Amino acid sequence: QVQLVESGGGLVQAGGSLRLSCAASTRTFSSYAMGWFRQAPGKEREFVATISRGGITYYTDSVKDRFTISRDNAKNAVYLQMNSLKPEDTAVYYCAAERAGGIIVRAPSYDYWGQGTQVTVSS
């Protein structure tokens, strides 16, 4: 069982930045693909970004050139740097881990999930 704990959410004005962190409780963290998803009120959970175990990244179009996903295998952590935030980025952000380690964009393919952290962007 892998536990994931997100942190770093909060309230920020449009145009501002936040850095989300996700700490994983597994010694085999480096073998997992890691992803970030978000869910706004009344909407389905949507893919944001993923990083494979080899460090390859992939983003949804709406966050390209604004968000950066990265990982630190020595710290068992994955990060999401969010710049130029917009009100439409407001959501609960979830960290997820997937055993196969590849580029995974579908939420059902992920094996473990964190509890989420709220990001609110004011206009």
Give one DSSP letter per residue of 53-112, joined into a string.
TT--EEE-GGGTTTEEEEEETTTTEEEEEE-S--GGG-EEEEEEEETT-S----GGG--E
CA atoms within 13 A on the CB side of 102: 5
Question: 94 near 6, Cβ under 8 Å?
Answer: yes
Question: 42 near 57, Cβ under 8 Å?
Answer: no
**Digitized pLDDT (tens) for each residue of the chain, 123 residues in all:** 899 999 999 999 999 999 999 999 999 999 999 999 999 999 999 999 999 999 999 999 999 999 999 999 999 999 999 999 999 999 999 999 999 888 999 999 999 999 999 999 999
Q: What whole-number distance in Å separates Cα of residue 106 and Cα of residue 21?
A: 21
